[in-house]
Structure 1
Amino acid sequence: MSAAVAVGLVIVALVVDLDTGDRVASVVGAVAGVGGVALAAHGLSRPARTGPAAAGSRSVQSGQGIGRAVTGDANHFRGPAPAVPAPASLPPVAPPAGPPVPGERGVAAAGGIGEAVTGDGNEQR
């Protein structure tokens, strides 16, 4: 769209006199400025999209389920990660606002957690 406006302004500048081109460019600039202000106001009026709350160092947090979460060092695994557990069949008494915020090397999920490894040097045989 901006390329079309630029080409249009060049054509106006070549075809009409300088005063008319100046007026057309002023109008186009004013319209672009109003559009920019409207776009900025729209962006500021929308609620901010926030991700999960800040968590501790080297932690894992998910708004859904987790198959395997590893927060330690020098861990060795064989085979695929476990499947994400199915949600509980009974609804919770009060729906949670989201997963809790884990501390350092913690794991939290709104859904199920198949496997969480938070230590160092673990080996799966």
Structure 2
Amino acid sequence: MADLDTADRVASLTGSVLAAAGLALSLYTLLTSPASAPVAGARSVQAGSIGRAVTGDNNHLHGSAPQVGAMGGGTVGDIPTVGERGVSAGGGIGEVVTGDGNQLT
């Protein structure tokens, strides 16, 4: 009977230590993770890869957006978007229209 009591205590203590270690690791990861860069400014765009981004008004666009292959680069959170109608991408950007009243054919 003494051996079962000892095994029970050891198992309880081991489980408690592992649970505390898991909690500590979770908190460390949560608190030290870098925050993603905020999208700053009205009508800003931030994405991994962008075929066509349009942030202006009264634009007349014809045809399909350019195809953007999987290009290397940083992750989206690494690249800040600054200012009104700003555009940033972690990969490629095919076309950006930021003005008003553009005629693209």
TM more than 0.5: yes
Pairwise CA distance, 1:69: 0.3
Q: Secondary structure at the match of 1:115?
A: strand
Higher-Rg member (1/2): 1
Structure 2: unaligned runs, 5 residues or longer: 1-22
Matched residues in 2 for 1:80 and 1:73: separation?
A: 18
Counterpart position of 2:68: 84
Q: Secondary structure at the match of 1:47?
A: helix
More strand by share: 2
The count of aligned residue pairs is 77
Counterpart position of 1:124: 104
Structure 1: unaligned runs, 5 residues or longer: 1-40
Counterpart position of 2:5: none
TM-score computed with the length of structure 1 as normaliser: 0.50
Greater than 2 Å deviation, 4+ residue runs: 45-52
The percentage of aligned residue pairs carrying the same residue is 51
Q: Which residue of 78, 83, 89 maps to 1:109?
A: 89
Q: Secondary structure at the match of 2:53?
A: strand
The code of the aligned residue for 2:68 comes to: V
Counterpart position of 2:41: 56
The code of the aligned residue for 1:65 comes to: S
TM-score computed with the length of structure 2 as normaliser: 0.59
Pairwise CA distance, 1:99: 1.5
